[in-house]
Amino acid sequence: MTTSKVRVRFAPAPTGMMHLGNIRAALMNYLFAKQKNGTFVLRIEDTDQERNFDPQAIKITEDLTWLNLMFDEGPGPGGPYAPYFQSQRNHIYEEKALELQEKNRIYRCFCTPEELEVKRERQRMLKLPPRYDRTCLHRSDTEVQKLLADNTPFIWRFKLDHDAALTITDLAHGNIKFEMKNFSDFPLTRQDGSFTFVFANFVDDLTMKMTHVFRGEDHLTNTAVQAALYKAFDAPLPIFFHMPILCNINGQKLSKRDFGFSLRDLQKEGFTHEAIVNYLGIIGGSFEQEVMSLDQLAHAINFDNMQTTGHIKYDVEKLRWMNHKWIERYSPNQLTTACRPFLEKAYDDAKSLSDETLSQLLQTIKTDLITLTDCVAAFKFYFETPMLEKVDIEAVIDSAHLHGLKKIVQENLNLINDHNAFVNTLKKAAQDNKIPLKELFWFVRLALTGKTNGPAIHDLLSMLGSETAQERLQTALDLITQ
């Protein structure tokens, strides 16, 4: 398609929450527009009024904003091809349908859904491909007029040229040739007069001057019949990219049953927007550097050499790895802002923490965070006193060392205000009494946090403060005598 500027679009239906397939389509369109200095358009395909979950596309625009996939035209910013809701573009579809009627490229079909199902079932039994048999194309004018006079419901069908062969250009597949004899005359309208997805989608792409159309591999059949529509209007075809379908680890198409399918699920579980778009940008490809920002992705992806496989496996473990890498890159302020909502939801006392205090706390566990929600479990000891029992201590400390260890800690508790002196004195005393240092540190951590692993002892003492740390250590020491 000859044009002065690249134009691409993301065209979701607001019938459910954004999921990984949606996001990848939006991302690839955004990155292509960014790389080519083009225009990224958001268009809402909201013609299914009964199923519309987000009628004003508020959640869709919120999600795109959160992901930093900012669109140039669409609901909100507007643009030269408004409106950007299909439900408001019916007059445009009617105009284009009338043009096709005047060109004698469409005809009325009066077949009922029941009749069509009977035809399909007969074809299946004869092992024939299920296609419309053009019953209504061959009706006489007299017969058509009588059916109209009787108010018989009908739809408009496009009359394909079954002798034609149409070729599209696809970024992944190269030139794809479609023999029109293998396709049915397809509906442009439904019996209620509304227009089908195939037709409305085509008209929008045509009138909004889309130069490239990126969508899932499962839309390839639609592309064949839409190519026939472009030809009927003597319009140049856009270049297509039919993206591989995202599958779970078992090779089945991702569904709401798979973890991470929904963007809201990923947000709830503490995945960062940087990690999500980064992972979806590199999935199925091969990159020397895998951790990349949006700008870096836009430069790194070679749209002239795209993936040709029909399916790509979504690996949540790779996404978790990517998320960990992005958390490592977060500045102290970024991490504080990102983790605070999770901590405040889990612990009321977190709301009173200053940003400075929370930031200092988070830096002690930053390297252990895989997702942002991990901070909740990591800081449970800070907001809730651990409930220790003697058996917890006996499980990790050799019984022969218990009373010697108790004596060492008890005698030096008065040094706890000086964290360095306290820790160094304990270490020397343990060595002198032949108590393994690992058991000493296990005991102290267990007393302070309820776990034997975690932040360094110095950090724990600083985080909890000397008074709280002393109380918890004394509680643990008292258990040993029971």
Q: Coil, strand or helix: which one is 443?
A: helix
Lowest mean pLDDT among 3-17, 164-178, 315-329, 369-383: 3-17
Q: Coil, strand or helix: which one is 277?
A: helix
Are 293 and 274 in contact, with CB atoms under 8 Å apart?
Answer: yes
Mean pLDDT along residues 149-161: 97
Residue-wise pLDDT tens digits, 430-467? 999 999 999 999 999 999 999 998 889 999 999 999 99
Res 407: pLDDT: 94
Residue 23, pLDDT above cutoff 90: yes
Tokens for 35? 């790389």
Mean pLDDT of the chain: 93
Dist CA 131 CA 149 (whole Å): 28
Res 286: pLDDT: 87
Q: Coil, strand or helix: which one is 230?
A: helix
Say which amino acid occupies 380: K
Residue 94, pLDDT above cutoff 60: yes
Res 50: pLDDT: 66
Tokens for 85? 């809701």
Q: Coil, strand or helix: which one is 212?
A: strand
Task: Please provide residue 214's backbone torsions phi and psi, each rounded to the nearest 5 degrees.
Answer: -105, 125
Mean pLDDT along residues 159-172: 96
Tokens for 402? 């218990």
CA distances (Å), 423 to each of 390, 456, 458, 467, in order?
23, 11, 8, 16
CA distances (Å), 177 to each of 105, 168, 183, 225, in order?
21, 7, 13, 12
Overall residue count recorded for the chain in this entry: 482
Using only C-alpha atoms, the chain has a radius of gyration, in whole angstroms, of 32
Query: How far is C-alpha 91 from the chain's CA centre?
Result: 34
Query: How far is C-alpha 31 from the chain's CA centre?
Result: 15
CA distances (Å), 327 to each of 314, 334, 416, in order?
21, 9, 33
Share above pLDDT 70 across residues of the chain, in percent, rounded to a whole number:
97
DSSP one-letter code for 42:
E
Say which amino acid occupies 418: D
Query: How far is C-alpha 445 from the chain's CA centre?
Result: 39
Dist CA 22 CA 11 (whole Å): 9
- Nearest residue to 64 via CA among 12, 2, 136, 133: 12
Residue 9, pLDDT above cutoff 80: yes
Res 53: pLDDT: 66
The pTM of this model reads: 0.91
Dist CA 449 CA 90 (whole Å): 63
